[in-house]
Structure 1
């Protein structure tokens, strides 16, 4: 019986070893100095800018006003807001600002449906690229100028640097740190080591013809994951623009965090299963970026790893103490990887205090797994622009 337990523990150890080494490699990649620059260009592309918005009356007007301050010719970009279930006065204000407002009537609500509606409604207009932003996103006046330079340099898929625009609760602050860890590992770390960056749902740019061909194929709640899948199938490298910021509102309480992660986890599982079916083709065609993405999509949320491994070490301490040393070493490597991935500006007193709330976040993410089934088929809305009490105290 003891021998069987050792065998099972060894099998159990393998995926954790792969996941944590994966984090460590790309965390080190993040710390590699690398200068990324694009030459100035006189050519100015025409952009379709889409803001999918569901019940976003509290934030969408501010976001649009922010975007319209671009130091880029206004006749070279069109802003489209897909205004789902928003108030008439909000839509009137948006139209007054000069943007195109689309009122959807689709049966199955999703961000993919909103994007497809915007593409369909602008079929007769000429654009070079599409920019996707969330209703709560704010950008700086040079946003289009910067992505235009990158696009002119041959980049067909671009992910900007999404950062937190609020840190008013411990949950929001920790969510902002989590976003930056993702940027470090899955974006800058990857690009520094020669692999495409991961998409993050907003602050994205795609060559318009490719986007028009692919978007009708996408209908899931995890449109960014599916877009990544198709980018990798087509061999398109996603560039990460670390210096081009998109300010994104972070969730402010654990309930919203749990609902948001439910959608993310469901999308990740579905895309992993879709990709895994093609594993033979991946090796046959030597599509190593797709293999990298398959490993990435197999990884559970980091907070689950942070909380589960110590519990497992405690179980081993009781049942098989000799086995705990390799797990302790593995956990130490995981902590080193996370420390490397956290940007230096977060090394402060508030971060230390906020980390005391991680057990509560761990429980919130565990609850997310119980709602994965609904997260696959039901649109889960994350409220924005409302001040919320943080119940983590």
Structure 2
């Protein structure tokens, strides 16, 4: 099997506290060192990020553009710089500065590329699930998405969706398409662009990336607000084109992607419908609005609620989670999940906000620590 040559890109904005651990990690991947180069995009940095990167003998690519800020713009700029370089790369891999990566990551990407896949998403995990009930909620959500959402889609030959890091792209495809994903959710936007072209991202369940998650609820809410604002933008731009293409081509994968692009509206409408019913119930009057649940046998919503609750501990068992503290985190996780409702509601009215909000990363953890503390 041929071994591909990789350009490994790391997007960084003021990441002096965590960038060293990732660069050290990437330099020790289980892949021939002469077959991959590491480039750290020091995007509008005002700290020592570039200096630390250079101290490891890695290229720090400094970008200063105060008008076009954000990860999507940084990647677009870096790719243009990459194509000008004398060395030609077969594929491009992208990580965030706060990540850690399993040593075999590039070997898994190489295998998938050799099998003909053009866009590959690794398994996203958290490196700090035990820091707080917020990070535990993120961790459980990631395990759920990997096992019951991403893996299920792969098994059904559906398109997977990119997760913002741990992504691999065929260089030829990137040159042909261009990046062009500069919204607040550049990963989802590029996923939709791929599906439009009939290129379906695929999950590699064995290629693991560990992402740092916000410890506090406030920081988490700010991050998720940005995600939802960007999701509304993607819905506006891609739902109707994908829907029309799916009907015209009788393509179920594109139809599925169209539905996912507007899933953010499901959350919004669910919140509005629930509020309407509760307000109507509280206000005293003779004629009340009647919920659809009033016409269902009691056990139907009961089964639905049970399945919704049971799937999270089920996923944790399937993923081999043994820590009782993580299972106990399922209780406050209810608050985490419910908080998506007001966040999505606020995002709808602020969706035109294009300002990138940086999530500060502070957890200096080595890969050995993460692996030794597997929950």
TM-score bracket for the superposition, by shorter chain length: 0.7 to 0.9
2:136 matches 1:136: no
Change (3 A) 1:300 1:371: closer
Local SS of the residue matching 1:379: coil
Partner of 1:108: 68
Change (3 A) 1:89 1:336: same
Deviation at 1:143, TM superposition (A): 1.2
* 5+ long unaligned stretches in structure 1: 1-40, 388-393
Partner of 1:86: 45
Partner of 1:350: 325
Change (3 A) 1:331 1:292: farther
Partner of 1:366: 342
2: CA distance between counterparts of 1:340 and 1:48?
Answer: 38
1:183-217 Cα offsets, whole Å, 9 max, x none, are: 23331011111202111110010111211333342
Deviation at 1:347, TM superposition (A): 7.5
Partner of 1:117: 77
1: CA distance between counterparts of 2:120 and 2:359?
Answer: 24
> Which residue of the other structure, out of 307, 322, 327, is the alignment partner of 1:336?
307
* 5+ long unaligned stretches in structure 2: 283-287, 365-375
Alpha-carbon contact 2:180-2:190 (below 8 Å) kept: no
Alpha-carbon contact 1:313-1:324 (below 8 Å) kept: no
Local SS of the residue matching 1:116: helix
Change (3 A) 1:314 1:46: same
2:294 matches 1:324: yes
Runs of 4+ in 1 over 4 A off after TM superposition: 301-318
TM-score by length of 2: 0.82
Change (3 A) 1:132 1:78: same
Change (3 A) 1:349 1:88: closer
Matches of residues 284-299 of structure 1 in structure 2 within 5 Å?
284-299=248-263
Count of residues paired in the alignment: 346
2:360 matches 1:383: yes
1: CA distance between counterparts of 2:232 and 2:351?
Answer: 13
> Which residue of the other structure, out of 133, 137, 153, is the alignment partner of 2:115?
153
C-alpha RMSD over aligned residues: 2.9
2: CA distance between counterparts of 1:326 and 1:165?
Answer: 43
Deviation at 1:224, TM superposition (A): 0.7
